[in-house]
A and B are shown apart, each in its own frame.
Chain A
Amino acid sequence: MTLLATEAPANGRGRGAIEFALLMPAILRAGALLLFAAIFIVFAIQSPLFLAPGNLLSIVSQSSILAVLAFGLTVVVIVGGDNALAGGIDLSLAATMGLAAAVYATIVQLGQPEMVALGAALAAGLGIGALNAFSVVVLGMLPLLATLAGMTIATGLEQLISKNATILVDSALTRFLGGTDAQGFPVLAYALLVIAGLLGLGTRYTPLGLNMQAVGGNPLAARASGLGVSRYVAGSYLVSGLFGALGGLLSVSFLGASSKGAGEMLLPIIAATFLGVVFSRRFVPTIAGTLAASLFIGMLTNGFQLLNVSSYWVSGIQGVLTLLVVAATTTRPRA
């Protein structure tokens, strides 16, 4: 005779934990939205310039660079998973932007055709992406370390190429991207909307997008379902490199020059991606969420400038918010 009083079924997670997990996104989302609204209102009251249409449009075009870069990171995190340690992350994005901008500016300055400069800038981004993909997928390095190496390499290359100087650029492409349409609407804002729209649809509503999320959600399950997990992960770093280059082009167009100190964009990129998580129902990175968070960060920067508050405050606030959101996603119970 075998008799056994069985243990409770395995889904015996504590009830408290479940409620916490369900409530956490709602609290965070509400909190984030309230914060958005509050900051918006404070800026509007404090500075008469803030609500001027020109200023709002300038926020959008300023944010477009950050958003495009953060889209790259968002793709990496969607496919690589949002585990804080072993998940997907690309620290080289800001440096890639700087490298692509320097490559583009230098080649244009040398009098080469614009198409050559454009191609070289995109190739530089893809190159850093390919390097990251190789380190992560083939060498099996932690993305955090692999892309840190990629970042250092990109920064070094940028300084070599630009001789650590600002290079002025004036080309048809930068004039177009940096300009406005007939109604005075900035082209950068259009570019942002088009890129966000395409990428948002692609990651959310296509089989490819669903499979990307599956790979990030549970690589083992994805592999058992026949998905080539390595290929998806490698692809995500290539996409990220491409978006780094794209960000470089937008930045050159916005500033009219390649500029030093691209590395300062790193924290805002990470902040935008992980803050964006609070805009999704299930607390995962999405293109729409990243877009909203990028605009929020752009608004912060702009508002503080108008109020003559030191821009270091923006860094501090971004850091604190990122810490909060990453802490919340890390402590979230995982089924």
Chain B
Amino acid sequence: MPTGSDDAVLELTGLVKQYGPVRALGGASLLVRRGEVHGLIGQNGAGKSTMIKILSGLERADEGEIRISGERVEGLTPAEVLTRGIGVIYQDRMTISSFTVEEALFYATPALSANGVTVNRRALRRKADEIIDRYFGVRLPRNALLRDLTTAEQQVVHITRTLLLDPRIVILDEPTAALARKEVESLFRGIEAMRRDGITVVYISHYLREIQEICDRITVLRNGRDVATLDARTTSIAAMTELMIGGAIGSLFPDHGREAGAPVLVARRLSRRHGFHDVDLVVRRGEIVGVTGLIGSGIKELARVLFGLDQADGGTMEIDGAAYAPHSPREALAAGLALVPEDRRTQGVGLPLSLRENIVLASLDRFSRFGFMRRRAETERARGFIASLRIKAPDETVPAASLSGGNQQKVAIAKWLCREAALYVLDEPTVGIDVSAKAEIYRLLRDLADAGRSLIVVSSDLDEVKGLADRVVVFHRGAVVLDAPSAAISPSGLLAAVVGGRAEEAHDLARH
């Protein structure tokens, strides 16, 4: 077991952390060796973020032990963590957007001032320039405000700030979540440089391919415990995924449905300026249609027109033979659609409300009689969704705020699925959701189709489109370039249609 290893620079043993009714960590351990890049993976809610918060002193563990370079530390504060040579680069929400680059680099650093009164900017500037140049090979304008920088540039500032403190261990929490591939490469060069300089790195990510690329060893967390520590280079992605979800992933997608029925939605020569043109689309009863394409291919714009957020400039839509041209989402709902918008995280969940209230919120008319709520029916429905989506919560009365981010997303989806409709339009239904929750959502969508409802899933996840949908419609530069049963399309054929044969886009796609 971990204790006693000579080269252990960081040892967390048996960490336990309870947030109200939710147990975030139930005895998780982590051993990081000096000089390695150590990956930390796990599904949403597995306890990665909690572990990092405890390690950075922002939260205190209920039980467990932390050793830094063999020395046991207790009651860590953020300031002490820093003086012990640990720098943490957080996922988000850590930007002081009104600061200039220079201010963001230097605030709260001991080196800022020798006497506590005057600021020694010149020495700091030199050091900051050196670090940025050495690890990232870029130049940042010192007086630019952080709010005017790109996410990648802000991240360079955060990392440089951390490196200014001469850390021995750097922890990166989901550093690539908001980066483009090129920026990821630049970040990885920075991490390689840290490794060469003998800095130990803990790297947390959802992107298993990146973990494989950059890490030496990996610790897998599941349900608040560490389940395995592995060699990153010899472990396959399939094996990692299996450990993360605690079982094989063969059953991610349910079997395809039966024969589809009569047309429900028929669009003819549908056009929207700067979006798509002359689109013919038919969605039948009991069918899941996957609509996919690159950014700018027109799928986002199609979703907006279906939702009633934008209006088509040309062409017609019919639902069950009646003309459909919604001017607002309200009209779309009135026409019998259920919409699952993409920005669920901001619009989807009322954090102080209970799970039950959240789930029935969009279909109150179905749960009220004479203006009063039918509590029992609500409770039953909410419990049904908590079970079928495996929302990790003690019961339906806890506030949504007490759940992890991934589970909040499931609640947001449940809210819309709860609203029974003939036609569901879902925009990126599984973005930011972990593997097992995805499988549950796919199962639920398939059940809806089997029950005779129709679904349009707009998604840029090709696996999802191919695995889930009965029929795949591919957009390219605003036009439909492929409309075929998904069983008849090969993965490479789908990719070719999506990218329109352009090599650099195919490369960018292969990132995940």
**Chain A residues in the interface with B (C-beta under 8 A):** 1-11, 18, 21-22, 205-208, 210-211, 213-214, 217-218, 220-228, 282-284, 334-335
Contact = CB atoms under 8 A, between A and B. Distances in A.
B512 A6 contact: yes
B141 interface: no
Contacts of B79: 226-228
Nearest to A223: B78
Contacts of B147: 21, 334-335
B78 to A, nearest CB: 5
A5 B119 contact: no
B401 interface: no
A10 B152 CA distance: 9
Interface string B476-512: 0000000000000001000100100000000011111
Interface stretch (B90-98, B313-321, B409-417): B90-98
Contacts of A284: 98
A3 B463 contact: yes
Interface stretch (B9-17, B33-41, B110-118, B365-373): B110-118
B444 interface: no
Interface string B107-131: 1100011001111000000000000
B324 interface: no
B166 to A, nearest CB: 14
A224 B56 contact: yes
B491 A282 contact: no
B146 interface: yes
20 contacts: A2-B209, A2-B237, A2-B512, A3-B462, A3-B512, A5-B295, A5-B460, A5-B461, A5-B498, A10-B151, A10-B178, A18-B148, A206-B113, A207-B119, A211-B108, A214-B108, A218-B96, A227-B108, A334-B97, A335-B147
Contacts of B93: 218, 220-221
Contact of A282 (B145, B178, B431): B145
B138 interface: no
A224 B106 contact: no
Contacts of A282: 98, 145
A4 B83 CA distance: 41
Given A6-B460, A7-B431, A226-B78, A1 B294 contact: no
Contact of B112 (A9, A207, A220, A283): A207
Given A6-B508, A225-B107, 5 more contacts: A5-B509, A10-B177, A226-B78, A335-B95, A335-B146
B99 A224 contact: no
A214 B96 contact: yes
Given A213-B107, A225-B78, A206 B119 contact: yes
A205 B119 contact: yes
B450 interface: no
Contact of A9 (B118, B180, B509): B180
Contact of A221 (B94, B151, B177): B94
For the complex of A and B, the 6 pairs showing the least CB-CB separation, nearest first, are A226-B79, A10-B178, A217-B96, A335-B97, A335-B147, A5-B460
B77 interface: yes
B200 interface: no
A220 B94 contact: yes
Interface in B67-103: 77-83, 88, 90, 93-99, 103
B292 interface: yes
Nearest to B299: A5
A1 B96 contact: no
Nearest to A10: B178
Contacts of B335: none
A108 B116 CA distance: 39
B174 to A, nearest CB: 11
B190 interface: no
Nearest to A9: B180
A169 B88 CA distance: 58
Contacts of A205: 118-119
Contact of A206 (B88, B118, B145): B118
B150 interface: yes
A83 to B, nearest CB: 12
Interface string B41-53: 0000000000000
B433 interface: no
A207 B113 contact: yes
B350 interface: no
Nearest to B151: A11
Nearest to A5: B460
Contacts of A225: 78, 82, 107-108
A334 B96 CA distance: 10
Q: Which of B77, B94, B103 has the most CB atoms of chain A within a 10 A radius of its CB? A: B94
A222 B103 contact: no
Given A5-B498, A282-B145, A210 B150 contact: no
A226 B295 CA distance: 40
B293 interface: yes
B387 interface: no
A227 B145 CA distance: 21
B179 A3 contact: no
Nearest to B89: A224
A109 B86 CA distance: 60
B282 interface: no
B248 interface: no
B58 interface: yes
A211 B117 CA distance: 12
A2 B119 CA distance: 51
Nearest to A21: B147
Q: Which of A206, A211, A213, A335 has the most CB atoms of chain B within a 10 A radius of its CB? A: A335
